[in-house]
């Protein structure tokens, strides 16, 4: 019996040679064999045969298969008395019969197939209780993924999805990460969107929410967040998406409905604005098994008040400062002012920013936009003023200068390559007045053809903005009656006045 690949070769060779004799000669087989498989092909095409090659199992193979099935059936039947979670697995049966006892020479997949067939015939069907989502005073949460091309780069972005049980009101937001920070942030935005907090939110077994689904053990920080906003956490049983079907359907529906027409955007913010418009449209449409559209149905949802003081969604951690006055967060490095004398700082990690504090959390030392890339360095040149005063020669090839604002680089290259101390004085102005204000004044001096020195820039920065006197013009004409001068003099001088 030939394999299907061998038969394929016979048929393709026959098409090339055009004769049975030529095919047999080229492949080194008999003409009868070629005739046999050409006939099988014709019969299969005409519907008189199910397959071109029909494999027949030998009696010996069938007997071995039956013996294996009987052996497995005995093991599983005996094992039925054990508790559900302690019953033998297909993996253990394979190890016992094939690896240890060497009774059979079969693959693990064969064992799995026989175990599955036995369970289908001998164990009761799994039955689920269909849920009526229209009765729920709750929301459902899930994370899905969307392929987007942001600023020319295509990648998969996590998207946080919410849906209200009664009204089927949907909300979603795209992020660059899917940590607990992003999950909590999306909850805060969702609460603000719907104007309140549902009494219960249902989750899959997310690690950010559930640390041990078997023991129903929840993440402490997430429980603290839920307690603050006063909603109950409920998670589905493992491998039971039917318990949270509304949101499972929303993930695919929103993805197809909104992002099947467009995936390219300049920024993630633009993509989220596009998503918001699409959700507005979806929430304005009639939905099955609901009398009201989601926008109207949302008014009937039972929600409680959002706390007036917002939860601070930040992780507070300690970091050690290295020899380059930098700390590491999520695989990226951020600079720390070199005049901070301790080796340890506290950091607050938000969804979109990094704040660096002194060890007591009393003083903010630096703030950066949070990066979700890896292996990047973010340096503020003003963090190295103290060191540059001692080591001015280190500035020229430093990464601090290479990553500095372009106007500062131009200023250094045009005027201060041999006068680093003068440049550090200007950096002190940047630290005091902010990069944007100083850069604006530097560019003004460039336009006037003046060298921007520390004194000139400080003088410009200290000048008050010109007052626009146009705003004091009166729109109505006012007439002042001054009276008679003699009357005024009489009042001042009395009887001494001589007219």
Tokens standing for residue 474:
């009166």
Confidence at residue 279, expressed as pLDDT on a 0 to 100 scale: 94
- The residue assigned the tokens 């054990």 is 82
What whole-number distance in Å separates Cα of residue 52 and Cα of residue 187?
Answer: 59
Instruction: State the pTM of this model.
Output: 0.64
DSSP 365-410: EEEEEPP-SSS-EE--GGGGHHHHHH-GGGSTT-HHHHTS-HHHHH
Which is nearest to 90 in space by CA: 104, 67, 102, 108? 108
Q: Is 395 exposed, middle or buried (0-12, 13-18, 19+ CB in 10 A)?
A: buried
The structural domains of the chain, with segments of one domain joined by +, span 4-46, 59-122, 133-304, 315-378, 385-499
Which is nearest to 317 in space by CA: 304, 307, 327? 327
pLDDT in tens, the chain (499 residues): 567 777 888 888 888 888 999 898 888 888 998 888 888 888 877 778 767 776 666 677 788 888 999 999 999 988 887 777 678 889 889 988 998 898 888 888 899 999 989 988 888 766 555 555 554 578 999 999 999 999 999 999 999 999 998 899 999 999 999 999 999 999 999 999 999 999 999 998 888 988 887 777 889 999 999 999 999 998 875 544 444 445 446 678 888 888 888 899 999 999 999 999 999 999 999 887 788 999 999 999 999 999 998 999 999 999 999 999 999 999 999 999 999 999 999 999 999 999 999 999 999 999 999 998 889 999 999 999 999 999 999 999 999 999 999 999 999 999 999 999 999 999 999 999 999 999 999 999 999 888 999 999 999 999 865 445 455 555 556 565 666 666 666 665 665 555 5
CB 198 within 8 A of CB 164: yes
**Long-range pairs for 445-450: beta carbons < 8 A, 24 or more residues apart:** 446/410
CB atoms within 10 A of CB 359: 13
CATH number belonging to the domain at 133-304, selected among 3.30.420.10, 3.40.50.12780, 3.40.50.1370, 3.90.260.10: 3.30.420.10
Which distant-in-sequence residues (6+ apart) come within 8 Å of 59 by Cβ? none
What whole-number distance in Å separates Cα of residue 194 and Cα of residue 197?
Answer: 8
Strands 232-235 and 200-203: parallel
């Amino acid at each position: 019996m030939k394999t299907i690949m061998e038969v394929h070769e016979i048929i393709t060779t026959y098409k090339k040679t055009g004769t049975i004799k030529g095919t047999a000669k080229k492949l080194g087989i008999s003409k009868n064999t070629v005739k046999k498989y050409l006939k099988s092909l014709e019969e299969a095409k005409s519907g008189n045969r199910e397959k071109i090659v029909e494999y027949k199992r030998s009696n010996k193979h069938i007997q071995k298969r039956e013996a294996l099935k009987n052996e497995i059936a005995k093991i599983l039947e005996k094992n039925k008395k054990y508790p559900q979670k302690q019953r033998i697995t297909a993996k253990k049966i394979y190890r016992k019969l094939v690896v240890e006892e060497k009774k059979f020479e079969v693959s693990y997949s064969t064992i799995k197939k026989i175990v599955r067939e036995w369970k289908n015939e001998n164990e009761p069907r799994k039955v689920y209780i269909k849920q009526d989502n229209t009765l729920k005073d709750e929301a459902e949460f899930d994370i899905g993924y969307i392929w987007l091309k942001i600023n020319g780069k295509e990648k998969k972005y996590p998207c946080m999805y919410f849906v209200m049980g009664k009204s089927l009101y949907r909300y979603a937001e795209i992020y660059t990460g899917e940590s607990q920070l992003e999950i909590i942030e999306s909850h805060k935005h969702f609460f603000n969107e719907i104007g309140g907090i549902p009494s219960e939110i249902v989750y899959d077994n997310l690690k950010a929410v559930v640390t041990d689904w078997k023991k129903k053990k929840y993440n402490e920080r997430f429980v603290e967040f839920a307690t603050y906003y006063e909603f109950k956490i409920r998670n589905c049983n493992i491998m039971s998406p039917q318990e949270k079907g509304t949101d499972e359907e929303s993930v695919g529906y929103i993805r197809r409905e909104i992002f099947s027409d467009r995936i390219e955007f300049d920024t993630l913010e633009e993509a989220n604005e596009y998503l918001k418009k699409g959700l507005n449209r979806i929430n304005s449409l009639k939905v099955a098994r609901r009398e009201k559209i989601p926008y109207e149905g949302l008014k009937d949802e039972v929600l409680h008040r959002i706390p007036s003081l917002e939860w601070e969604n930040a992780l507070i951690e300690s970091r050690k400062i290295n020899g380059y006055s930098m700390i590491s967060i999520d695989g990226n490095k951020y600079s720390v002012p070199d005049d901070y004398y301790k080796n340890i700082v506290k950091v607050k990690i938000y969804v979109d920013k990094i704040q660096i504090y002194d060890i007591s959390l009393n003083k903010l030392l630096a703030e950066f936009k949070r990066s979700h890339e890896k292996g990047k360095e973010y340096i503020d040149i003003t963090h190295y003023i103290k060191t540059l005063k001692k080591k001015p020669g280190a500035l020229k090839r430093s990464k601090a200068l290479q990553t500095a604002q372009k106007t500062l680089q131009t200023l250094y290259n045009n005027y201060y390559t041999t006068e680093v101390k003068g440049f550090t004085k200007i950096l002190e102005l940047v630290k005091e007045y902010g990069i944007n204000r100083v850069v604006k004044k530097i560019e003004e001096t460039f336009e006037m053809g003046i060298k921007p020195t520390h004194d000139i820039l400080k003088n410009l920065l200290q000048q008050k903005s010109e007052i626009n006197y146009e705003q004091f013009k009166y729109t109505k004409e006012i007439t002042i009656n001054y009276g008679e001068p003699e009357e005024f003099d009489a009042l001042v001088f009395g009887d001494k006045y001589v007219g």
